[in-house]
Amino acid sequence: MQIIDGKATSAEIKKEIAEEVKVFVAEGNRRPHLAAVLVGHDGGSETYVAFKIKDCEEVGFTSSLIRFEDDVTEETLLKRIAELNTDPEIDGFIVQLPLPDHISEQKIIEAIDPEKDVDGFHPVNVGKTVIGLPSFVSATPFGIILLLKRFNIETSGKNCVIVGRSNIVGRPLSVLMSQKAINATVTVAHSRTKDLKEVCRNADILVAALGSPEFIKEDMVKEGAVVIDVGTTRVKSDLTKSGFKLKGDVEYETVAPKCSYITPVPGGVGPMTRVSLLLNTMIAAKTRRPGA
């Protein structure tokens, strides 16, 4: 069994991006600039956005954090997004989700200029991804594809079962895994799937992306399978400084010995999601300055 070390892989990719930024700046371009919009004080969102800002510093990007209180109106948020869309200093931006209930996430996502939508959530980017056109691919599926490639994991003709059909992970990943460059045979399983255990046991590549801690047990996994754990549920813990620890969707201790490859939580898919956002921002910066 080999652990797919997303932390080490993302560190390698960050070094590559940092080198690319040096060349980009030496050619007379300003640094790529990512902005993050954060509404409220949700603990998870605060942590994720802080990591994104830190990642930008590490690779030499400029970053901006734009904060609003929980009671911000949808109108105010839309106005700020319109400003970011036309701000020539910003290459890409994200609006951290979830948003408070009085704000329509879909309306906010659709207000973002697709060319600055480095999260790849806008329907234009989702649609382009589906038909294989150049697009911003949502960060977690993008990170998973990068991991499979960097670990030379054979995907062609393999059965890939994705448990979870969210718009930001399961569904876009199913599209990418079935594309010609990857050539997997894809099943998307969900809460209404019959005989889920049997469906999962048929997977050469099993992706757990349902957000239910330790849902995937040993008897759901085929001997020698590749297991990708996308789960990141924050559970209370006395053992960490933050008072929380991350739990994956896979029962790691029992499942890992059966796998050919497995991603740990933390240190698997999570760091790759973060680095994918940097890659999308680099692409945005280069696209906005053709010839760079």
- Closest C-alpha to 166, from 230, 80, 213: 230
Q: How far is Cα 26 from Cα 8, in angstroms, rounded to an integer?
A: 27
To the nearest whole angstrom, how small is the minimum distance from the Cβ of residue 109 to ligand GUN?
Answer: 9
CA atoms in the 13 A half-sphere facing the CB of 72: 22
Q: How many residues does the chain have?
A: 292
Q: Considering beta carbons, is residue 95 or 220 the nearer one to ligand GUN?
A: 95
**Site residues, ligand GUN (CB under 6 A):** 94-97, 119, 139
Catalytic, 70? Answer no
Catalytic residue among 52, 116, 222, 247: 52
Residue 166 amino acid letter: S
Q: In which order are the strands placed within the sheet that holds 185-189?
A: 2-3, 261-262, 226-229, 205-208, 159-163, 185-189
Residue number, 222 or 274, with CB nearest to ligand GUN: 274
52 is catalytic: yes
**Of 111 and 220, which has the nearer Cβ to ligand GUN?**
111
Closest approach of ligand GUN to the CB of residue 274, in Å? 9
Catalytic residue among 14, 55, 91, 96: 96
Q: Token pair for residue 168?
A: 């930001």
The question of whether 249 is a catalytic residue gets the answer: no
CB within 8 Å of 56: residues ≥ 6 apart: 34, 62, 63, 278, 281
Q: How far is the CB of 5 from ligand GUN (least distance, A)?
A: 21
Q: Whose CB is nearest to ligand GUN?
A: 97
Positive or negative, the Cα torsion across 112, 117, 122, 128?
positive
- Of 119, 204, 229, 249, the catalytic one is 119
Residue closer to ligand GUN (CB basis): 98 or 224: 98
CB 202 to ligand GUN: min, Å: 29
Q: How far apart are CA 27 and CA 63, in angstroms?
A: 20
* Active centre residues (catalytic): 52, 96, 119
